[in-house]
């Protein structure tokens, strides 16, 4: 199913790398104008918590190369003034947005590796834990506060909250630490609560979780690239991993669905969207690392 988003304006908050870059790219494939925000820039201003080479300018160039129009805007989504200026710029340039994707995270290193997981709250580094919540939840609230007025100016807007694990999955499972668990559960709940507030304006909010994501950081962790990822010395479940474009294609199809309001307040996986809309990953598969 080919998504057609020509003439639509999307904003992907946290578009520098990972799922955010994949979502921006897929929206570009569908012909959208995509405002790509994040802290990592070729200018060197506003570096993220990661010492990584990816920049929002690269993401915007990828969007354009795929058929859309990529627009990079350096933004720290914890800074009220910067997000206010972002909203003002988008209003001045486009008048409104049709799709808002809240993909901001930035706490991958703070959550630590397997050796750090299951650390009880009284032993966990408090500053690191609270920053996880600031990066993973507070940024989403600030972004919605300033940008949702641009989404509801006309009926039909779509808000996507990107998280890890569906509401149903997380409800019965402890996720890594109190702080990580709370952050990911909160983002699912944000889609539910914001969906309640958006419904009278004819807008839709959905929480979407990728599966095992072959992000730039994940590929580096296993010493492979997207071209040879199957050779990674990784657990068996990695065979069902997905590229960042997969969740993006599902979200692009959702945005193009004239009946997308039926998804309001739901929490779904990239694989569920893929099956519903008939989209595939870059290799033509429909992986589902949440199955079973």
What average pLDDT score do residues 130-135 get?
96
Pairing of β 267-269 and β 99-102? unpaired
Half-sphere exposure of 19 (CA within 13 A, CB side): 27
pTM above 0.75, yes or no: yes
156 neighbors 198 (Cβ within 8 angstroms): no
- 9-277 to CATH, choices 3.40.50.720, 3.40.50.1370, 3.40.50.150, 3.30.2010.10: 3.40.50.720
User: What rounded mean pLDDT belongs to the chain?
Assistant: 95
Give me the pLDDT at residue 181, please: 96
Give me the pLDDT at residue 48, please: 78
Partners of residue 36 on adjacent β-strands: 12, 72
What average pLDDT score do residues 81-102 get?
98
Residue 162 makes CB contacts below 8 A (sequence gap 6+) with 14, 19, 20, 23, 101, 102, 103, 105, 187, 207, 208, 209, 210, 247
> Residue 44: pLDDT band by 50, 70, 90 thresholds?
confident
Partners of residue 9 on adjacent β-strands: 33
Give me the pLDDT at residue 46, please: 60
What average pLDDT score do residues 50-57 get?
90
Query: Which of 36-50, 96-110, 121-135 shows the lowest mean pLDDT across its residues?
Result: 36-50
pLDDT tens for 93-112 read 999 999 999 999 988 888 88
Is residue 54 over pLDDT 70? yes
Give me the pLDDT at residue 137, please: 97
pLDDT tens for 211-244 read 999 999 999 999 999 999 999 999 989 999 999 9
Give me the pLDDT at residue 192, please: 98
Structure-model confidence comparison of residues 292 and 162, the more confident one:
162
pLDDT tens for 153-208 read 999 999 999 999 999 999 999 999 999 999 999 999 999 999 999 999 999 999 99
Domain ranges of the chain: 9-277
Give me the pLDDT at residue 281, please: 97
């Amino acid at each position: 199913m080919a998504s057609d988003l020509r003439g639509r304006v999307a904003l992907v908050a946290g578009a520098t790398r990972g799922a955010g870059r994949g979502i921006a790219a897929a929206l570009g494939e569908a012909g959208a104008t995509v405002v790509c925000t994040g802290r990592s820039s070729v200018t060197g201003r506003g570096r993220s918590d990661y010492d990584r080479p990816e920049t929002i300018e690269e993401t915007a160039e990828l969007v354009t190369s795929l058929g859309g129009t990529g627009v990079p805007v350096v933004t720290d989504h914890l800074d009220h003034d910067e997000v206010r200026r972002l909203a003002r710029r988008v209003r001045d340039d486009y008048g409104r947005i049709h799709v808002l994707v809240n993909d901001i995270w930035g706490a991958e290193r703070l959550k630590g590796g397997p050796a750090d997981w299951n650390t009880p709250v009284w032993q966990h580094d408090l500053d690191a834990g609270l920053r996880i919540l600031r990066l993973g939840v507070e940024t989403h609230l600030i972004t919605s506060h300033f940008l949702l007025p641009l989404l509801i100016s006309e009926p039909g807007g779509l808000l996507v909250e990107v998280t890890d694990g569906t509401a149903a999955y997380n409800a019965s499972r402890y996720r890594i630490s109190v702080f990580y668990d709370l952050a990911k559960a909160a983002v699912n709940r944000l889609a539910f609560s914001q969906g309640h507030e958006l419904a009278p304006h004819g807008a839709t909010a959905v929480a979407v979780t990728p599966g095992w994501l072959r992000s730039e950081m994940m590929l580096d962790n296993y010493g492979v690239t997207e071209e040879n990822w199957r050779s990674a010395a990784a657990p068996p479940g990695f065979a069902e991993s997905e590229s960042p474009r997969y969740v993006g294609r599902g979200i692009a199809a959702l945005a193009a669905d004239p009946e997308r309001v039926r998804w309001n307040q739901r929490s779904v996986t990239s694989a569920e969207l893929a099956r519903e809309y008939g989209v595939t990953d870059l290799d033509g598969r429909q992986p589902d690392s949440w199955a079973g």
